[in-house]
Structure 1
Amino acid sequence: MAVDRLLPTQEAADLLALTRQLADRELAPRVEVHERTETYPDGLFATLGEAGLLGLPYPEEQGGGGQPYEVYLQVLEELAARWAAVAVAVSVHGLSCFPLATFGTPAQQERWLAPALAGELVGAYSLSEPQAGSDAGALTCKAEKTADGYRITGTKAWITHGGVADFYALFARTGAGSRGVSCFLAPARADGLSFGRPEEKMGLHAIPTTTAHWDGAVLDGDRLIGAEGQGLPIALAALDSGRLGIAAVATGLAQSALDTAVAYAHERSTFGKRIIDHQGLGFLLADMAAAVDSARATYLDAARRRDAGRPYGRQASVAKLVATDAAMKVTTDAVQVLGGYGYTRDFPVERFMREAKIMQIFEGTNQIQRLVIARSLARS
């Protein structure tokens, strides 16, 4: 079911229409095969890049699409409604471009940013470590200064697109304490860099998630983004935007689960009438619809604050919390609506439920979002 959207311009409406057409043509027919066989969709990100969907929120002068964040997030939602794993990877690609676009020098941007925003280079975000997920200040991966640049030693974890991406927004320790983390734009091919086998995940099977092992790999000095010690502020600023991306993806996933449940409830009959006409089930569907609409409104509020140049960190955490919790509940309820069929692979709702779970965890767990919100309230 097409969402009735309030968009700021006709250009935005045309962009959403293009996105739906492309997603229906390129994503929807392929999702089941790749998710079941756990195979990577070769060539798909080049197609998305050619359509201009990988650099939408960045300025046109940098090679991006110059779109407001509220429009970009709705594009992500449309992609997620067809294929959540791909939408997550698109969001992560945008996240990986953020340090270069926001803190990179003109020379760095000229060399690397335009190809990234055009989708010629696909990026990944490398912040987490096996012992440091939500606690980014506990990073131990080291970047030691050398005559030629920086020698990287350590292990990074939970990298979406790991082993497949062309570059990594890498955060490593150049000193002590919270001011001792720096950001690098690391190439995918470097002597001393290797990747672990893809994680065996509950969902999002088509896009690999891996560890990365840095065994003394040397990065050129011009790979440092921003100043030494500026890594944590860069990472946290990027994550505010990234949380909105995940909120939009979760909303698209929930919308797809709702649509599947409503369609089934129209077709299935019991006791002489459609099950959607039974009040008990109708109320369940109503609660699902309210949760999806609320999630969308919440992420759009945060996006509009971002577009207006206003603080939006707390609102980003609220959006991520509300949307991903909604996705978990709506997908679980969709399985319930379909009954025994919902528990089988004959319908996609069991996959939706598995995919929703991780969204409560990455880009900061929902417990971390509550901590961010609580601290914001304490400062007010």
Structure 2
Amino acid sequence: MPQPVTDLLDVDTLLSDEERAIRDTVRTFVDKRVRPEIGQWFEDGTSPKELAAELGELGVFGMHLEGYGCAGTNAVSYGLACMELEAGDSGLRSMVSVQGSLSMFSIWKYGSEEQKQEWLPQLAAGEALGCFGLTEPDYGSNPSGMRTNAVRKGDDWVLNGSKMWITNGSAASVATVWARTDEGVRGFVVPTGTPGFTATDVHHKLSLRASTTSALYLDDVVLPASAMLPGATGLSGPLGCLNEARFGIVFGAMGAARDSLDTALEYATSRIQFDKPIAAFQLTQGKLADMSVELYKGILLALHLGRLKDAGRVRPEQISIGKLNNVREAIQIARTCRTILGGSGITTEYSPLRHANNLESVLTYEGTSEVHQLALGQALTGISAYR
């Protein structure tokens, strides 16, 4: 039996004992809990509700945050957990990164002490799910055009508008909703049971099928003044949250790529054609070699960004390099692995095509490839090409 492809460069030597232990714990959970079921979940378009509590018990929700029941791990450990979760399925990693890096981070970074005490322990334990309402039906890559608004009415705020493509939306107990106000864009902590708040699921998806994706509607949602996040004014608030989530994607995409390559390698060494394993053919070995090179480059890039983040030096354009490269390469690896599997690769029995379908969403959410190209172009030239 061939060794997993990630042994080729002795990546483990770059990790601490604690980082390896966290990675292995999450890998074991995915192997035992997710792999036996994920093909059926994807086919059925379901995400088991009990997973939230199990992931909370595992300790991955908000694991890189300090206090309030969070584990307080370093950024690399969080990234490695994302890699293992996405090796299971991108939808699983999406649930965790939206919970921790968007919902929880927005409250942890910008919220009042009362908001933190009320919500973070519940979210960390998986007793509640959170979602993050920024994207709108007509304003995806351009959040500055958002139409959702919040108007003061006495001591309260009244919110109206809608959000689209919201992970965890209909399953969430609390939503961080960003809205336009007279003083700029502000964030609000919205309990989903508030009158006027509704969420409907998006169906007929070809991607992220084992994940809850919703539209949010706010119709005269009345909130007390204390619902506003006091520490965030303008778009820097939500964009700062997105940078946290993109960091998890940099690692996560490599998990999907690694699982695809491991699957293709196992299949190629056991599938016999013309009286020998298809792994013995030069064309197959060329594919495997090229894919492993791109996988290693992506993993090393992710680890480098993780070390920069732990040192407090990572910049948004550096995260853009990671997101742009790693998702783009991961989807190509998954597609190529499907070709090695031949006709068998189109079934849910094997993971590469499922990963490729999921990565179609990862390619465009939290910044499309084009947006990250423009972010890098601006960093290189000093000229913004967004308008």
Indicate whether the TM-score tops 0.5.
yes
Mapping for residues 223-302 of structure 1, pairs under 5 Å: 223-227=227-231, 230-302=233-305
Deviation by residue 1:275-303 (Cα, 9 ceiling, x = unmatched): 11211110111111112111222222222
3-state SS of 2:36 partner? coil
CA contact (8 A) 1:54 1:119 kept: yes
Residue matched to 1:308: 311
* Residue identity matched to 1:218: V
For residue 2 of structure 1, report the CA deviation from its aligned partner: 7.9
Task: Show CA shifts across 1:77-127 (max 9, x none).
Answer: 111111221111111111211111112222221222222222222111110
Q: Which moved more, 1:142-151 or 1:270-279?
A: 270-279
User: Secondary structure of 1:112's match?
Assistant: helix
Contact 1:89/1:207 (8 A) holds in 2: yes
Quote the residue 2:199 is aligned against: 195
The corresponding residue for 2:354 is 351
Could you say what secondary structure the match of 1:128 adopts?
Answer: coil
Greater RCO structure (CA 8 Å; 6+ sep): 2
Aligned to 2:329: 326
1:131-187 CA distance string (max 9 Å, x none): 100101011101111224211101111101111111111101113xxx611011111
Question: What is the DSSP-based 3-state SS (H/G/I as helix, E as strand, rest coil) of the residue aligned with 1:152?
Answer: strand
Question: SS where residue 70 of structure 2 aligns?
Answer: coil
Among 150, 154, 175, the alignment partner of 1:147 is: 154
How many angstroms apart in 2 are the aligned matches of 1:120 and 1:336? 42
Q: 2:47 aligns with which of 36, 40, 46?
A: 40
Q: CA deviation at 1:189?
A: 0.9
For 1:38 and 1:14, locate their aligned partners in 2 and report how far apart those are by CA, in whole Å: 32
Q: Is structure 2 residue 111 aligned with structure 1 residue 104? A: yes
SS at match of 1:318: helix
Is 1:368 aligned to 2:346, yes or no?
no
Q: 1:24 to 1:343 in 2, by over 3 A?
A: closer
| Greater Cα offset, 313-322 or 32-41 | 32-41
Range moving further from structure 2, 254-263 or 290-299: 290-299
Q: Name the residue aligned to 2:140.
A: 133
Contact 2:197 2:219 in 1 (8 A): yes
Q: Quote the Cα distance in structure 2 between the aligned partners of 1:7 and 1:219.
A: 48
Would you say 1:93 and 2:102 are equivalent positions? no
Equivalent-residue separation in structure 2 for 1:18 and 1:302 (angstroms): 22
Instruction: Say which SS state the counterpart of residue 196 (structure 1) adopts.
Output: strand
CA apart distance, 1:337: 0.8
| CA distance in 1 between partners of 2:39 and 2:310 (Å) | 35
Q: CA deviation at 1:350?
A: 2.1
Question: Which secondary structure state, in structure 1, belongs to the residue aligned with residue 60 of structure 2?
Answer: coil
- Who is 2:90 aligned against? 84
Provide the secondary structure at the position in 2 that maps to 1:201: coil
AA aligned to 2:92 is V
User: Equivalents in 1 of 2:185, 2:372: separation in Å?
Assistant: 22
When normalised by structure 1's length, the TM-score is 0.94
State the alpha-carbon separation in 2 of the partners of residues 6 and 220 from structure 1: 52
Tell me what 1:208 maps to: 212
Structure 2 unaligned segments of length 5 or more: list them.
Answer: none
Cα–Cα, structure 1 residues 6 and 368, in superposed 2: closer, same or farther, change >3 Å? farther
What code does the residue aligned with 1:146 have?
Answer: K
Identify the residue that residue 26 of structure 1 maps to in structure 2.
33
Q: 2:81 aligned to 75, 78, 81, which one?
A: 75
Kindly tell me: are residues 104 and 197 of structure 1, through their superposed partners in 2, closer, same or farther at Cα, counting changes over 3 Å?
closer
1:168 aligns with 2:190: no
Partner Cα separation in structure 1 for residue 43 and residue 273 of structure 2: 32
Offset from partner CA, 1:249-292 (integer Å, 9 cap, x none): 21111111101110111011233322112111101111111121
Q: Distance in 1 between matches of 2:240 and 2:57?
A: 28
| TM-score when normalising by structure 2 | 0.92
Q: 1:20 to 1:270 in 2, by over 3 A?
A: same
TM-fit CA distance, 1:346: 4.0
Work out the percentage of aligned pairs sharing the same amino acid. Answer: 30
Is the 1:139–1:173 contact (alpha carbons within 8 Å) kept by the matching residues of 2?
A: yes
Q: 2: CA distance between counterparts of 1:197 and 1:115? A: 23
Residue 121 (structure 2) aligns with: 114
CA distance in 2 between counterparts of 1:181 and 1:68 reads: 30
Alpha-carbon distance in 2 for matches of 1:341, 1:21: 26
Amino acid at match of 1:200: H
Partners of 2:37 and 2:234 lie apart in 1 by: 38
- The CA distance in 1 between the partners of 2:116 and 2:165, in whole Å, is 26
Q: CA deviation at 1:212?
A: 0.8
Query: Aligned to 1:132, what secondary structure does the other structure show?
Result: coil
| Contact 1:7 1:71 survives alignment (8 Å) | no
Aligned to 2:126, what secondary structure does the other structure show? coil
Please report how far the alpha carbon of residue 62 of structure 1 lies from its aligned counterpart in structure 2 after TM superposition.
Answer: 3.1
Amino acid at match of 1:68: N
Task: Measure how far apart 1:307 and its partner are.
Answer: 1.1
The answer on whether the counterparts of 2:111 and 2:231 sit within 8 Å (CA) in structure 1 is no
Contact 1:196 1:211 in 2 (8 A): yes
Contact kept, 8 Å, 1:88 with 1:249, in 2: the verdict is no
SS of the equivalent of 1:183 reads strand
RMSD over aligned Cα, in angstroms?
A: 1.7
**CA contact under 8 A between 1:302 and 1:312: conserved in structure 2?**
no
